Amino acid sequence: MEAVFMRLWEELQAGRRAVLLTVVDSTGSTPRAAGSHQLVREDGTTVGTIGGGFQEYKACERGRENLQEETSSLFTLILHPNEAADIGAVCGGELRVFSQFLSPRMPGAADCVYKIAEAIRTHQAYWLMFNLTDTRHWAMALLGGETNCFCGDVPACLALREYLSGRLLSDRTGLTRQHGLLLYREALSYPGQVFVFGGGHVALALVPLLTQLGFACAVVDDREEFANSRRFPQAAVFTVDLQRLPDEISVTPDDYVCIMTRGHVCDYAVQRQVLPQHPCYLGVIGSRNKLAFVKKKLLADGFSPAEIDACYAPIGLPISAATPEEIAVSIAAELIAVRARREKREKAGSGQWLRS
């Protein structure tokens, strides 16, 4: 998603107009959910995707029309046979898409778009919001910190500011109508980060992949040559004593932990210290014999069988992965599944996803 907003900023900086397509609502079976973005540029090319197929073709077609007319629109794509708006899809759901025209002439637009891209890149806990009450006069806002910004139609921005005054945002992403305003909100980052203990071959393949998937990563090792910004430019890096982690590293229940140090002694030391922190995911690399050995030591340390069995060991989905790259894919897939379950559970519960 960062690439979409960064390319959009580049277009505006170069003096070119563009349209940003955003899925603001979805029901039923759809290829992408709310929070998907795609850029339509003046030359007709696109960046990103809102699901591919004929529905994306129709959305981009509308985007190009809005670009030519210098207007914005909110429209519905019906992905099942119907008489009103049949586009030939049979997924069974519906998408609502906001086609947002942006121009370098709009005050603050380029600056706001750049700050959105930076918030995504740095995994900051920010919200993207639209006031879509009148899509001809929309407002867009980045909220959540000292760099809050607004752009768009001034009355729409003022209405959004007034609505937000003193309010806390809850639901992660969605469209809502409140106090006469049609509002879209989207959390730009997931809570927590992935702590990768051990900066070896698997970590070298895993961290760039997780970064592309929207996970913030930190690599921890006791060897500087394996934990440095040259080796892992996408991640935070920590060179610490793996036997004294609580003094150096703070793991929260929102965090994911992947243990893949240079041997079972260090793996055991890390797992023993991290288990009491109750991360939302704790995976350990290794053979079943090695894992059984570590489990025996953890039981002797007083951990319950339930606590130990809750760990993902061996780490990763069982896809017969062998190479570091294949193992990285299996781990990344497992983390995607865990993140999706967490998000679904949060939505079904309090709705609060980003914690204050």
DSSP state at residue 312:
B
Q: What is the pLDDT of residue 64?
A: 97
Tens digits of residue pLDDT in 158-198: 988 888 776 655 556 788 888 889 999 998 877 789 999 99
Cα gap 349→332, rounded to integer Å:
26
Taking residues 250-268, report their average pLDDT: 95
CA distances from 19 to 16, 211, 227, 228 (A): 10, 26, 41, 39
Tens-place pLDDT, residues 224-235: 999 999 999 999
Written as six digits, the tokens of 297 are 């030591």
pLDDT value for 169 = 59
The sign of the torsion formed by the CA atoms of 64, 69, 74, 76 equals negative
Query: For residues 222 and 93, which has the higher predicted lDDT (pLDDT)?
Result: 222
- CB-based contact 291:278 (threshold 8 Å): no
- Is residue 353 scored above 50 in pLDDT? no
Strands (DSSP E) contained in the chain are 18-27, 37-41, 46-48, 73-78, 94-102, 127-131, 139-143, 149-152, 173-178, 181-187, 194-197, 217-221, 236-239, 256-259, 281-284
Which pLDDT score is estimated for 170?
Answer: 58
pLDDT (0 to 100) of residue 183: 92
Residue span(s) of the chain under CATH 3.40.50.720 come to: 194-345
pLDDT at 91 > cutoff 70: no
Taking alpha carbons only, the member of 88, 84, 39, 28 closest to residue 66 is 39
**pLDDT, the chain, mean:** 89
- Both tokens assigned to 282: 């704790």
DSSP-derived 3-state class of residue 139: strand
Residue 163, pLDDT score: 80
Which pLDDT score is estimated for 321?
96
- CA pair distance 205, 141, nearest whole angstrom: 36
Instruction: State pTM to two decimals.
Output: 0.79
- Model pLDDT, residue 354: 30
Concatenated DSSP letters of 242-304: TT-GGGT----TT-EEEE--SSHHHHHHHHHHHGGG--SEEEE-S-HHHHHHHHHHHHHTT--
What percent of the chain has a predicted confidence (pLDDT) above 70?
90
Q: Comparing C-alpha atoms, which of 139, 123, 251 is closest to residue 187? A: 123
Least confident of 8-12, 153-157, 165-169, 284-288: 165-169
125 — pLDDT class (breaks 50, 70, 90): confident
Is it the case that residue 330 has pLDDT exceeding 70?
yes
DSSP string, 46-75: EEE-SS-HHHHHHHHHHHHHHHHHT--EEE
182-196, 205-219, 249-263: least confident range: 182-196
- The CATH architecture of the domain made up of 194-345 is 3-Layer(aba) Sandwich (3.40)
**Span between the terminal Cα atoms of the chain, in Å:** 24
**Cβ 90 vs Cβ 78: under 8 Å:** no
Query: What is the C-alpha separation between 258 and 216, in angstroms, rounded?
Result: 13
Provide mean pLDDT across the span 14-40.
Answer: 92
